[in-house]
Structures are given as C-alpha cells and as structure tokens.
Structure 1
Amino acid sequence: MPVPLASLGTPSGVAETDAAGREGARVRRTVLPGGAVVLTEAVPGLRSATLGAWVGVGSRDEADHQRGSTHFLEHLLFKGTGRRSAMDIAAAFDEVGGDANASTGKENTSYYARVLDTDLPVAVDVTLDMVTSASLRAEDVDGERGVILEELAAAEDDDDDVAHERFSLLVHGDTPLGRPIGGTPADIEAATRDAVEAHYRRHYVPEGLVVTAAGGLEHDAVCALVEQALARAGWPAGADAVPLPRRTGGPAGEPLPSTLRPGGVLTLERDTEQAHVLLGGPGLTATDERRWVLGVLVAVLGGGMSSRLFQEVRERRGLAYSTYAFDAGYSDDGLFGLYAGCTPSRVPQVTELLAEQWALLARDGLGEDELRRGKGQLSGSLVLGMEDSGARMTRLARAELVHGRFTGVDESLARIAAVTADDVVALAGELLAAPRSLLVLGPFDDDPVPVAP
C-alpha cells in the first residue's frame, strides 16, 4: 500500500519505511522547526546524490501585475546572495564537477543539483543560500530581463514549443493555468523589481520549503545540513510551525470552471515546412486514482513504436515522422492530447486518423497483447527511471507537494498491473466525450480543417 507521508515523520520524530522496494532504498521524512520538510531516499551503493529545493508556487499563482515573476526568480536566484556572487555560485558547482539548474512549472518551482555523495554538503549550502537569501538587486533584474527575453524569443522560434503552448491555452482557456509559464515578452518588459521581490517574499518561506534528496546519503546528516543553512539565512525556526497545506486547486483553491473550456479549432499561420497537429482536451488531475490507467492509455495509443498512432500514421501510411500521445496533470485539472507532425497538405488526413484511432479505442477496445505491451512499457519506464537519482528526488517532491503519500516502485508496479482493458476503454471514452480542441500550426492562409474535430 502507498505510505502516507504523515507516517514517515513528524516534527517530534522520524519514522522509516522500505517503501522504495527490493533494492533496499529507504525513504525518510522530517519536518524541521520552522515548517520546512526534508525527504530523502538513501540508495545503497550509489556514489552520487541529487538535491532539490522546492517551493509550491508556479506561474498560475502570479497576480496580474506579477506575470512572469516565478520564472524571473528562477534566473535571479543564480545572480547572487549576501554571501556569494553569481561567479561564486557557478564556481562552487564547477569545482566539484556538479550540475546545477532550476525549473519553473505551473504549480511549483525547483532548484536542484547533482554532485558526488561526498559533495552533498556543498550542494545543500549553495542551493539553500540561493533560495533563502537571494539579493534580487535592481541591476540584476534589468540585466536578466534581456536574457529572459532572448529565451522567450528562442522558444517562439521553436514551432513545436509554440504549438504545445497554444494548445494548452486552447484547452484551459484564458486562465492562469492556460497562460505560458515564462510569461510573455510584454510581461517581462513590464516586470519591476518590487513586484518580483514581493512574489519572492510571499512564497519563499520556511513553511513552503520542501527539500528532497536521493542517492548516496544519510538522512539525519541531510537534515542537519538543511537546518544549518536555514539558520545561517536567519529563517524563523518556531517549534510550532507546520508546512503549508498541500494545494487542492488553483490559487484560490477553486476548480477551473467548465465554462472556460472553449474547445474548437485554432489555426496558427507560420512559414514552416512541416505542419504540427494537436488534438485533445481535458485530462485527469494529478491525484486522480485513474492516472495509472491514463498512463497505459497513453502508451497504447501513442507511447512507442508498437502504439496505434505510430503504426497507423507512420508505419502503414507514411504520413508523419513523429506522432505520439501526451498528458499533463495539475491539482484541479488536466490535459490529454495526440500529436503528429506532417507535410501541410496532409493535415486533413492526419487529423482524421488521430481522431479515428482515439474513437476506435473507445468503441472497439483493445486486445490482451496490446494491453500487455502498454503495461510493460509503462512499468519498464518507471523502473529504468529509478536508475537516476534525479528522478528519485523529483518523485519525493511530487509525493510531498502533490499526492500527500509516497508510493514505492513495487506499489506502483502493482497499480499498473491491476489496470484492465475495460479501464482503458472507459477512460478513452470519457476523454473523447469531453470538449475537444484541435490546433494546427503551419503555412496556411485559412483553416486547413474546416470541420470541428
């Protein structure tokens, strides 16, 4: 059974579990004075470790005058603290051969580093110095503004990125969840230091900090390092502090109104050699118990070379080089879609095939061989991903920030094995019945698909 996080540790003590499975990894959790949470997974024999500092705030949490601030902070935290310059931060990781980076999502932000196990103290010290004590100097805000604008310009040059970003807007509507994570160029041009700093001060607090680490480590030692780093930063350490409650909806805790789902067809005209076709609609939330079924559905429909889309669109008809299914889950909403990149003249035929394969699965079901391959692909991807300490570190963070429980590898494999053909068919039908959206990007003067999907 999944292990509730409450059983893995409380402010007054720490419990242990062998929830990670037969490889002998141990997961432990501690709530530190001040409310910060530390979760670790010790993996015997691993000589590296990955550390992540997570804050449960993403682009959807920004006020209108702060759009782009979450991503702006991701850049600014590398620009220096009271103790370190930007060069000092870079040199600290280079000196130990480590990798450091950050990532902004729609519901959380992370700063992470992968180092040798013996260099984990360096990773903790530098990463938490960045997170707790960012200088956020006006000159850095102005200087980094140009870097972010270049990053957004590069993304705008990537037709695939543009297609997926606009598809999210089409499915979610003009809501914080549908808007681009990095903000728009206008958002970044308008961002002020005061607005970015206010966003930082509000959300980067002890009760909102989750530190996860996986690899060659010892839990108590990691906790001690984190406590020391927070104390150096002068962060409050009240004994009665508790972690912030887990997100259960959008910024106001409310689900996305169904009336904001426009659906329909959107054509983006761009001078490209290849057209990008995305068909889909609402998916499952991140905590939906059917997420295992969705994983199998994605694998069967468009997850590999034996999937229906790959076989029908690419192998049998030669209409596309790349075609796949995809999904994303959030606290109160989700997204499911099918993709194909093809010659512009083939868009109507490819669109019809995407819709047809989805409908056939929902109507006629799937055989045992197909089900077995889908489950095997999902299971194999899960287990192989655990070879990477970064994937383990991220899984711990999702357990704390999203699910509220830790599900080990063996438990996850059991959930996948329990998926039935009827489960997959029922979910395919449910998703098919929801408002559907079709986005086509390519060199079109008018809509290449004149009828609704």
Structure 2
Amino acid sequence: MVWQLPLNRVGHPDNDLSASQDGTTIRRSILPGGVRVITEQMPGQRSVTLGAWFNVGSRDEADGHFGSTHFLEHLLFKGTERRTAFDIAGAFDSVGGEANAVTGKENTCYYARVLDTDLPMAIDVIADMVTSATLDASELETERGVILEELAMNDDDPGDVVHEEFTAAVLRGHELGRPIGGTAQTITAVPRDAVWAHYTRHYHSAGLVITAAGSVDHDVLCLQVMDALKRGGWDVTGSQAPVSRRDPSPLSLATVEQDIVIARPTEQAHVIVGMQGISALDERRFDLSVLTAALGGGMSSRMFQEIREKRGLAYSTYCFGSNYTGLGTFGLYAGCAGAKVDQVQDLMVKELEKVADSGIDAEELDRTKGQLRGSLVLGVEDSGSRMNRLGRAELTTGELLSLEESLARINGVTSHGVQLLAQELSERTRVSVKVGQFS
C-alpha cells in the first residue's frame, strides 16, 4: 500500500483518510486554516511523540537572513506571551517528558515525547511556542552568544568540518550548500527584525503540520490542536489550503572538481570523496540505499573490509547519501592517519568503481537487503521514528509507504539497478575534502 498525501482538500477530522499497517492505524486530516494532522496510533504504547513541522529550512533563507531558521528554533524556547523559558522547560521536566527541536536544510520540527496523559500539555506548550513567541530582544542577544558557541564547538570537530565543507563544495552556488546553522559572521550580523520577518512569513496555520505517534486518539488530537492554535491567536476557521510542497523536479547544478585540504592540528585526518547524488524523490532511492549499505553500511561492507579489516588503515569508514528535494550528495568517508589519507581515498574510490564495473553478486545483494530490512523494522519500533516518518512523508514525498511496501521496494532492488546507479555516480564530477595535519 502506498498512501498518497494530497494537499488540496480541506475538511474536518471526521472526513479524513485512514489506513492501517502492521497493527497500527494511520489517519490524516486537513483542518480549517490548512493545518495538517497525521497520526499513527500504536497499540500497547503508554507514551506519544508529538511533532510540529514547518516546511522551511536553511535553503529558504534570503540574503541578510542567513542562520535565521536555526536562530528561530532556539528562540521559540525562550518565552511566549504566556510562558517564560523556565515555564516551557519546567512543563516537560515536571512530567518526565522531553522536548527539543531540529532544524534541517528543508524543514524545522519542534517535538516532545510524553506519557499519553500529558499529551494535552505538550500540545498546548508547543502550540504556544509556534504561535506566540515574543523573540525578546535581550533573550535574542543571549541566544546569539549560545549559537556562536555552538558553531565554535562544531568548528572544533573535524568530522563536522569535513562534512560541511564537502556539502558546500558539491552544492556550491545553491542554497542547499549553505550550513544549516549559519556562520559566525551571519549569526553576528543578523538583526532581530530579520528573524522576526522570517518567523511571521513562515509560521502560520497553512504551513503547520502536526504529527503524532504512539498512544494517540486522532479525533481528540485534532480538536486539541484547534483549541491550542486559537489560544495562540491564529485564525483556524477558514478554508485555506495548505502550503504546497516544493517543486520535485530534479535541479541541474554544475560541480567543479576540487581537492580541498584544510589544515588542523588533529591526531587523525578526515577525508570525504564524493559527488552530487540523487534527490529525495528519485525512484532510485532504494537502489541508493543498497549501494551505500554494500559499500560502507556495516562491518561486512566493502569499504570496512578492505580499509579496516584487511589493511588496518582506519577505524571508521562509511558511505552516505544525503537526499533533498531536487538535489542530493553522495560521499565516501574515512578517518585515518594523515600520511595514509591519499591511499585510503584511492581505496574508497576503487570500491565504488568496482561496483560500477561489475555490480554486486547475488550473495552480497541478499545480505545487504537483509541488513536494510532489519534496520528498517527496528527503526520504526519507537514512536519518535514513526513521528518523523509521518512528517517527512507529508512534507517531502507526498506519499507514505507502509512497512510492507517499503520492504517490497527493498526486495525489488536488482544488482543491475545498483550497478547502473554506481556507474552514473562514478562518472560525475568528484570533490574531495581532507581535514587534518598532513606534514
């Protein structure tokens, strides 16, 4: 079963779509005002994970607003017209729950995990945060210092640096190439007015997606969301349609071949070599999953065996694909001694080229599929993973695959399909980034 997620139907909680899978029940409603609510009721659970999503990330920031999305994520926890920052934190601490937020390149999510009896509180607090944040000027300046410290911490981690520089190089010239958190320069420069403008432009009922998984009653949740948004002053009485998803068309972006070396006084060098990948909506994304797992997804993967087990050149080596709407990246990573970095890079590239030349045999294909199937099933056993799955499906692909359909898509991957994708990727312009001490 593939559940298509339309955007243009505005109705009431009792007119929504419904579907069931592996003992759970999924329901979706578009409420007045364009708010989307998607729930997955999981039998036997006593907790629920709630998420409030907006389809806005660092790629959506205008000049002069760089870093605003991440800045805003911090500031929504700093107080509203009804609550102080301590009130927000204390509301979740007092019931043993947890609340946090995450900013991505394409969306932002504010989430909480609580006992089912405390879900009304979680809805009220998160709705208060997204509708009624004050963005107090003094709190903003305090949080500016916190974010600068966060960026400094990330800059001290060579693993973070190599990934940021790789993405920036492969996607140079596109908004997706910018760092999610901004830079020290942009965070220092961004004024409160820019953050406020970003908030008022993107945070409204038609842009809001509520997802919940666990012990949740869909109809009750819809009513609670409506009441909470009304308390926040949002108009949720009209027939406004939800904000449209991004244009799924693949984007054409030229990549310049580069070999970037960043000197850092580290004990270990970090290297990524890669290229543009495929978009999040590409039909070959399951082929990509098999390719990344076969190359560097576990202890039996090609890179792990060749670089770590046979040669002892690295402790950590893996393959990854980052997929966004219209664009993606594909990379091979290793951490090793600076003197060995060129050798390790050559070995990683050779493993990709071997798949491009010869594919993978039946035994390797079956083993990799088994790894992916197990990871998928284990990954959806907690309510947080399911809440995330609902949100990303609603905002990005417009379809929600059942567990059975996802497993069928994995099983449908062929060695030939993996080989064709490896051939295409290996022929694309390559970028390598090395961070460490090389002399």
Bin the TM-score by the shorter chain.
Answer: over 0.9
Q: Is the 8 A contact 2:269 2:435 kept in 1?
A: yes
User: Which one of 292, 297, 306 corresponds to residue 298 of structure 1?
Assistant: 292
1:391-425 deviation per Cα after TM superposition (whole angstroms, max 9, x unaligned): 00000001110011111111100000010111111
- Pair 1:257–1:308, CA change in 2 (3 A): same
Which residue of structure 2 lines up, in the alignment, with residue 190 of structure 1?
A: 189
Aligned AA (1:61): D
Q: Is residue 241 from structure 1 mapped to residue 240 from structure 2 by the alignment? A: yes
Q: 1:121 and 1:16 mapped to 2: Cα distance?
A: 23
Which residue of structure 2 lines up, in the alignment, with residue 427 of structure 1?
A: 421
Give the drift of 1:307. Answer: 0.2
Q: 1:258 and 1:112 mapped to 2: Cα distance?
A: 34
- Pair 1:7–1:168, CA change in 2 (3 A): closer
For 1:225-240, what aligned pairs fall within 5 Å after superposition? 225-240=224-239
Which residue of structure 2 lines up, in the alignment, with residue 201 of structure 1?
A: 200
Which residue of structure 2 lines up, in the alignment, with residue 285 of structure 1?
A: 279
Secondary structure of the 2:405 match is helix
User: Which one of 253, 258, 268 corresponds to residue 258 of structure 1?
Assistant: 253
Secondary structure of the 1:6 match is coil
Give the drift of 1:369. Answer: 1.1
Q: Is residue 128 from structure 1 mapped to residue 130 from structure 2 by the alignment? A: no
Which residue of structure 2 lines up, in the alignment, with residue 14 of structure 1?
A: 16
Which residue of structure 1 lines up, in the alignment, with residue 5 of structure 2?
A: 5
Q: 1:144 and 1:264 mapped to 2: Cα distance?
A: 36
User: Which one of 259, 262, 265 corresponds to residue 268 of structure 1?
Assistant: 262
Q: Is the 8 A contact 1:8 1:14 kept in 2?
A: no
Which residue of structure 2 lines up, in the alignment, with residue 438 of structure 1?
A: 432
Which residue of structure 2 lines up, in the alignment, with residue 151 of structure 1?
A: 150
Secondary structure of the 2:51 match is strand
For 1:15-94, what aligned pairs fall within 5 Å after superposition? 15-18=17-20, 21-22=21-22, 24-94=23-93
Which residue of structure 1 lines up, in the alignment, with residue 391 of structure 2?
A: 397
Which residue of structure 2 lines up, in the alignment, with residue 362 of structure 1?
A: 356
Which residue of structure 2 lines up, in the alignment, with residue 317 of structure 1?
A: 311
Q: 2:179 and 2:112 mapped to 1: Cα distance?
A: 25
Which residue of structure 2 lines up, in the alignment, with residue 343 of structure 1?
A: 337
Q: Is the 8 A contact 1:265 1:439 kept in 2?
A: yes
Secondary structure of the 1:212 match is strand
Which residue of structure 1 lines up, in the alignment, with residue 168 of structure 2?
A: 169
Q: 1:263 and 1:255 mapped to 2: Cα distance?
A: 21
Q: Is the 8 A contact 2:7 2:242 kept in 1?
A: no
Aligned AA (1:313): I
Q: Is the 8 A contact 1:8 1:17 kept in 2?
A: no
For 1:96-107, what aligned pairs fall within 5 Å after superposition? 96-107=95-106
Give the drift of 1:348. Answer: 1.5
Q: 2:291 and 2:74 mapped to 1: Cα distance?
A: 37
Q: Is the 8 A contact 1:51 1:393 kept in 2?
A: yes
Q: 1:66 and 1:226 mapped to 2: Cα distance?
A: 30
Give the drift of 1:115. Answer: 0.5
- Pair 1:404–1:210, CA change in 2 (3 A): same
- Structure 1 runs (4+) deviating above 3 angstroms are 6-10, 254-257
Give the drift of 1:257. Answer: 3.9
Secondary structure of the 1:65 match is coil
1:370-398 deviation per Cα after TM superposition (whole angstroms, max 9, x unaligned): 10111111111110011110100000001
Q: 1:143 and 1:317 mapped to 2: Cα distance?
A: 49
Q: 2:317 and 2:131 mapped to 1: Cα distance?
A: 43
Output the aligned Cα RMSD: 1.4
Q: 2:147 and 2:227 mapped to 1: Cα distance?
A: 33
Q: What is the TM-score with the length of structure 2 in the denominator? A: 0.97
Q: 1:158 and 1:237 mapped to 2: Cα distance?
A: 44
Gaps of 5+ in 2: none
Give the drift of 1:117. Answer: 1.2
Secondary structure of the 1:280 match is strand
1:52-71 deviation per Cα after TM superposition (whole angstroms, max 9, x unaligned): 00000000111110001000
Which residue of structure 1 lines up, in the alignment, with residue 410 of structure 2?
A: 416
Q: 2:287 and 2:252 mapped to 1: Cα distance?
A: 25
Which residue of structure 2 lines up, in the alignment, with residue 451 of structure 1?
A: none
Give the drift of 1:233. Answer: 0.9
Q: What is the TM-score with the length of structure 1 in the denominator? A: 0.94
Aligned AA (1:15): L
Aligned AA (2:352): W
Q: Is the 8 A contact 2:313 2:336 kept in 1?
A: yes
Q: Is residue 331 from structure 1 mapped to residue 325 from structure 2 by the alignment? A: yes
- Pair 1:10–1:4, CA change in 2 (3 A): farther
Q: 2:323 and 2:140 mapped to 1: Cα distance?
A: 32
Which residue of structure 2 lines up, in the alignment, with residue 112 of structure 1?
A: 111
Aligned residues: 437
Gaps of 5+ in 1: 446-453
1:77-113 deviation per Cα after TM superposition (whole angstroms, max 9, x unaligned): 0000011000000000001100100000000001000
Give the drift of 1:213. Answer: 0.3
Q: Is the 8 A contact 1:9 1:29 kept in 2?
A: no
Aligned AA (1:92): A
Q: Is the 8 A contact 1:9 1:28 kept in 2?
A: no
Which residue of structure 2 lines up, in the alignment, with residue 450 of structure 1?
A: none
Give the drift of 1:247. Answer: 1.0
Q: Is residue 178 from structure 1 mapped to residue 173 from structure 2 by the alignment? A: no
Which residue of structure 1 lines up, in the alignment, with residue 365 of structure 2?
A: 371
- Pair 1:43–1:9, CA change in 2 (3 A): farther
